Amino acid sequence: MISFAALMPASESTRLFNRARRVLPGGVNSPVRAFAAVGGRPPFVERARGARLYDADGQSYIDYVMSWGPLIHGHAPPELTRALRSAAGRGTSFGAPTALEVDLARIVCRLVPSIALVRFVNSGTEATMSAIRVARAATGRDRIVKFAGCYHGHGDAFLVQAGSGATTLGVPTSPGVARATAADTLIAAYNDVESVERLCRTHRERIAAVIVEPIAGNMGVVPPAPGFLEGLRDLCDRHGIVLIFDEVISGFRASRGGAQAVYGVMPDLTCLGKIIGGGLPVGAYGGRGDLMERVSPAGPVYQAGTLSGNPLAMTAGVWSLSRLSAPLYRRLDKLGRRLAEGLRTAALETGVALTVNTAGSVLTPFFTAGPVTDYASATAADTEAYAAFFRGMLRRGVHPPPSQFEGWFLSDAHTERDVDRTVRAARQSLAEIRPAPRESAPQRPETPR
- Give the C-alpha separation, 281 to 121, whole Å: 9
Q: Give 12-35 as a 3 state SS string.
A: HHHHHHHHHCCCCHHHCCCHHHHC
User: What contacts 106, CB < 8 A, 6 or more positions away?
Assistant: none
Set 61, 64, 151, 285: catalytic member: 151
Whose CA is closest to 313, among 133, 83, 113? 83
Q: Exactly one of 274, 285, 375, 412 is catalytic; which is it?
A: 274
Cα separation of 374 and 97, whole Å? Answer: 43
Q: How far is CA 411 from the centre of its chain?
A: 15
Asked if residues 330 and 360 have their Cβ atoms less than 8 Å apart, the reply is no
Q: List, in sequence order, every residue forming a beta bridge with 160; answer none if it has no partner.
A: 172
SS3 75: strand
* 3 state DSSP class of 93: coil
246 classed as catalytic: yes
Among the listed residues 63, 184, 246, 374, the single catalytic one is 246
Q: Can you spell out the DSSP letters for 303-357?
A: ---TTTT-HHHHHHHHHHHHT--HHHHHHHHHHHHHHHHHHHHHHHHHT---EEE
How many CB atoms are closer than 10 A to CB 168?
A: 12
* CA–CA distance, 189 with 379 (Å, rounded to integer): 13
Please name the helix (run of DSSP H) or strand (run of DSSP E) that holds residue 287, with its range, or none.
Answer: strand 283-287
Q: Taking a C-beta distance cutoff of 8 angstroms, is the pair 126, 271 a contact?
A: no
Question: Phi and psi (nearest 5°) for 30?
Answer: -160, 130
Burial class (CB in 10 A: 0-12, 13-18, 19+), 11: middle
8 Å CB contact between 231 and 189: no
Closest CA to 301 of 145, 139, 157: 139
Assess whether 151 carries a catalytic annotation.
yes
Q: Which of 445, 431, 414, 345 shows the shortest CA–CA distance to 65?
A: 414
Q: How far is CA 430 from CA 269, 379, 425, 434, in A?
A: 42, 20, 8, 9
d(CA 292, CA 301): 9
Active site amino acids: 151, 246, 274
